[in-house]
Amino acid sequence: MELLKTDQGVVLSVYVKPDSREFTIEIEDEGLVVHCRESPMKGKVNRELTKELSKIFKKKVDITSGFTSKQKKVMIRDSSLQEVKRILSKCRQ
């Protein structure tokens, strides 16, 4: 899983799977897989992704690249690597 600390926060690489039954996060060998309920039309998946990740991390979350791709990079604002790793470890199944 790729995490990058920047001045603004932590950048996280995610792979999005749209049209899922529920919003879930899976941590796999290759990285973070996020299952979104919305379909990839008119930015619905992007909105759901940022909204749900903001709830989980209790921080502002922005997509920095991959707006039209399933492979995205998201910025978790004002957070540390340790904080992000701790929260993601709770998501492990």
CA separation for the pair 6, 56 (Å, rounded): 20
Residue 68 belongs to domain spanning: 3-87
| Domain of residue 58, CATH code | 3.30.1200.10
Q: Is there a domain that residue 92 lies in?
A: no
Distance CA 93, CA 76 (A): 22
> Whole-model pTM?
0.90
13-65 pLDDT, tens digit each = 999 999 999 999 998 876 889 999 999 899 999 999 999 999 999 999 999 99
Question: Is residue 74 one of the residues assigned to a domain?
Answer: yes
Q: Are 66 and 74 in contact (CB under 8 A)?
A: no
